[in-house]
Each structure stands twice: as C-alpha cells, then as structure tokens.
Structure 1
C-alpha cells in the first residue's frame, strides 16, 4: 500500500521516503512541509497532481505523430506540461494575479501591448494586422525539441457553437477563416504535414478573456519563427 500524500497542513512523516508532489523536482533545501498556495488546486486535480509528482527526467515528451493524433481526435485534455514547467506556470500565474489583478490584464498590457485598443479595428477576421499577434507560448506543453508551440492572439471574437461540458467547437465559418489564415501564414513555408492548429475547449483555457488559438510546427525552417513573431 502506498503512503498517503500529506494534507497541505500536515508535516510529512520524516520516517517515510515518499516525497510530497509539491516537493518533487526541487532540491532538498527548497522542500517545504506544506503545499504552497499556488499548488493547492492540485489536491482536487488528479491529472495535475500526478504530473507534479513525476520527476522531470521521467516525463515523456509528445512526439509529432502524437500531437497530430491528439488534435485530430479532439483529445486536447491529454496534452501535458513538463512537471517543473507546470509548477513554474502555476507559480507565475499566482504572482501575475497578485501584481496585475488578473492574467488578462497582464497579457493585454505587458505581453501584447494592446491596452486601450482591445476592441480592434472592427474589420473582419484577420483583415487588419493590428488585430492579431503571433507569439511563442510562454508555457508550452511537453513537446519534442523539434516542435514549436505558438499562440495567435486576436482582438476579434472566435465564434463557437453551443456545446456541453466546456467543449464548445468553433463555428464552420470561424474554422474556415482560421484555416485559411494558417495556410497562408504557416503552411506555405513549413509544409502541409508540418503544421497543426487548435483552439482549446473553454474548460481547458487558462486565459478566457483574450481570444487565442494554438499553432504547432514540426521542424520549422530556420528564421521562420522569428519572422512570424516579430523576433
């Protein structure tokens, strides 16, 4: 029988060798007897708790065929981050909320530089270059080194049909517009089999108030990513 994970207010038994999930991937001097507030959510999130309890060296990386399959079968909930990256992401999110009030405020002002212009030009999807921005994903999934993870942020809405359990899908018109944009911006230079895109279900989004979708590239040509992200 495995040793139970200590509660966030309980000091682990010094006679056991079990490491609480919140101390995994940390050097011993940084271990804490209780779970830090930004990881308390994992006590009710079995998937993330299991990830956080895994040593980085044992974390498998998503291969390109796996990425293609997960997106083609709409298994977006199966994407995972490297354990230490997930910890960093959760800690950074908590710090951003404390300093800026919300992740949205930080993204709009600091990351996108859109404060005061969030309404956009009022034109159609992708008609005005000032209405969208392509950036590297600051907290990418556990991907093979040959895969690049980008995010396309938009000032215009990305309409979805009603769905259940937070899995609403894009309308056919919105999907067609995004597909045309991806073909023009990415596929033309990277090759049809080397580009996939998806928009997370509402229940999986970490930033709800700023529209965005994800693009992944396999073995992107040298200099291409710097070109589309503006360096």
Structure 2
C-alpha cells in the first residue's frame, strides 16, 4: 500500500487492511438490501486483498493520468473533456436547453453534456462493469452508470434530492428491471427483486469529479451483463 492513501480511508477501510481474505465476510443480497435501505453506504466493503490492490492501483493511475477521473474518461468511457456545460445546458458542441428544463440545484460538470436532465440523452451516460467491485457473494454483479450530466443533490455532502432519487429510480426500472421482466426466455420471475442501486455521497466517493450511480444485480447471466455494458467479464 502507498505511504499516503490516494483517497480518504474510513475506519472500516483501516480495519479491512488489517484483515486477511479468510477473515472477510462477503456481502450477500439481504445484507446489501439492508445497507442500501438504511442508507448506511459506509458499511460497504471490499475484500482486504482487493482493497490493497485498489489503493496501489489508484496511486499509480493518479501518478500517470493526474486523476482517476482522467483515466476513466480517457481509457474507460472515451469521453473527451471540454468546456464546462453551463447551468442551462449550453456547452461546446452541446445542445442548448431552456432554463426551465434544468432541474433545481444542477451545476456545471467536468465534460460537456447534451441534455441537462440526467438520463434524458443516451449519449450523456454509459454503463460499465465496476473494475473494483465490493466484496460480494457469487452471483452478484456490480455495474456503474457513468454520467456526463450532474445529478442535483441537497447539500455539499451529496445526498440526493427527492427529484434526483426519482430520476435514478426511473432509469433503473426502465433499463435494468424492465429488461429482466421482458426477457424472452422468462428467466426472471421476480425482476424487481434482482436489482438494487445506490449513489455514494461525496465523502465515500473515490471518483468525485464524475457523476456515477452503482447498480447491483443478482443471478443475471453473462449475455445480459454484456448487453448492458458492452463488456465481457474480466478473467
């Protein structure tokens, strides 16, 4: 582990770094559902060996790219930074939107967006597999929805507004739950019970400059994960 951590370590992180993988208890689905329901997101944890690798990787990436956001934009999302979008959606190459269309509290983001309303334009978001997922039971997959468009929050702490929560919930239902519900093979009798989502508040984010939402799915086969993310599982 680098002498100086590349992001703020929580007390739980420090506890994990003193553990072995054999001592670690992975999150099962019920545990994840309870953590998200009570908004205790600081309880989410990585396997000790994964956390150590993540810290080392983060330090290397920051040294090479300047920030994790730069790496993600360049190598994972292939989004080019540009002039920041203004509050009314006007940006270098973006489409202007009327002021009334902007959700309350929205701020300029690090890269241009097409529509100031989150999830309104497919070019403003991308679904990828999480390169560094939490320590999860087998059968649970971790995806991340990356957004160009900022999501309005209540305060500097980054807690979601009710409108933002409804926007994310609507996107998750449309993109993930509906896909399972309409599966041609009818493989998912309870699609709503197989999808969870959360958005870390600022203090828990290791990539703070780029908006993202975490999605967890249970017992979803590889073909659908590839359909959503365009990526095969890492070996």
Q: TM-score, normalised by structure 2?
A: 0.77
Paired residues, what number? 193
Task: Write out per-residue CA displacement over residues 109-157 of structure 1, whole angstroms, 9 at most, x where no aligned residue.
Answer: 1111001362111353222111000011111111001111110000001
- Per-residue CA distance 1:10-56 (angstroms, 9 max, x = gap): xxxxxxxxxxxx6xxxxxxxxxxxxx4255988x7532222011111
Matched, 1:137 2:102: no
Residue in 1 aligned with 2:3?
37
User: 1:211 and 2:195 equivalent?
Assistant: no
The answer on whether the counterparts of 2:74 and 2:80 sit within 8 Å (CA) in structure 1 is yes
| Residue 49 of structure 1: aligned partner | 14
| Kept in 1: contact 2:199–2:213 (CA 8 A) | yes
- 2:61 aligned counterpart, secondary structure: helix
Inter-partner Cα distance in structure 1 for 2:22 and 2:215: 26
Structure having the higher Rg: 1
Is the CA contact 2:6–2:59 (under 8 Å) kept in the aligned structure 1? Answer: no
Distance 2:4 2:136 in 1: 24
**Alignment partner of 1:54: what SS?**
coil
Kept after mapping to 2: 8 A contact 1:38/1:91: no
CA-atom RMSD in angstroms: 1.9
- Which runs of no fewer than 5 residues in structure 1 stay unpaired? 1-21, 23-35
Deviations 1:164-216 (A, max 9, x none): xx3x3211111111111100111113300111101001100000100001000
